[in-house]
Amino acid sequence: MLTKDAKILVTGFKGQLGYDCVHELTKRGYINVKGIDIDDLDLTKESDVKEYISDYNPDVVMHNAAWTAVDKAEEIPDKVYEINALASKYIAEACKKANAKMVYISTDYVFNGSGNSPFEINDPMEGLSVYGITKAKGEEFVRENLEKHFIVRTSWVFGKNGNNFVKAMLKLANMGKTELNIVCDQIGSVTYTYDLSQLICDMIETEKYGTYHATNEGYISWAEFAREIFRLAGKNVIVNDVTTEEYIKIVPQQAKRPLNSRLSKKSLDDAGFHRLPYWKDALSRYMSNIS
Give contact residues for ligand NAP (rule: CB under 6 A). Answer: 12, 14-18, 37-38, 42-44, 64-68, 83, 105, 107, 135, 154-157, 162
From the candidates 131, 192, 212, 286, which is the catalytic residue? Answer: 131
Which residue type is seen at 272?
Answer: G
In the complex, the smallest distance separating the C-beta of residue 3 from ligand NAP, rounded to whole angstroms, is 26
In the complex, the smallest distance separating the C-beta of residue 76 from ligand NAP, rounded to whole angstroms, is 12
Give yes or no: 131 in active site. yes
Residues 148, 95 contacting (CB under 8 angstroms): yes
Nearer to ligand NAP, 3 or 264 (CB): 264
Nearer to ligand NAP, 66 or 100 (CB): 66
* CA 106/CA 206 separation, integer angstroms: 20
Long-range contacts of 19-27 (CB under 8 A, 24+ apart): 19/159, 19/160, 19/161, 19/162, 19/193, 20/159, 20/160, 20/161, 20/193, 20/194, 20/196, 20/197, 21/62, 21/64, 21/197, 21/200, 21/201, 23/197, 24/194, 24/197, 24/198, 24/200, 24/201, 25/201
In the complex, the smallest distance separating the C-beta of residue 270 from ligand NAP, rounded to whole angstroms, is 22
- Calculate the alpha carbon distances from 45 to 51, 90, 95, 179, 213 in Å: 10, 9, 16, 45, 29
In the complex, the smallest distance separating the C-beta of residue 69 from ligand NAP, rounded to whole angstroms, is 8
In the complex, the smallest distance separating the C-beta of residue 198 from ligand NAP, rounded to whole angstroms, is 15
Q: What is the distance of C-alpha 247 from the center of its chain?
A: 24
Nearer to ligand NAP, 11 or 238 (CB): 11
Nearer to ligand NAP, 18 or 230 (CB): 18
Nearer to ligand NAP, 156 or 247 (CB): 156
* CA 59/CA 257 separation, integer angstroms: 36
**Closest chain position to ligand NAP (CB):** 15
**Residues involved in catalysis:** 131
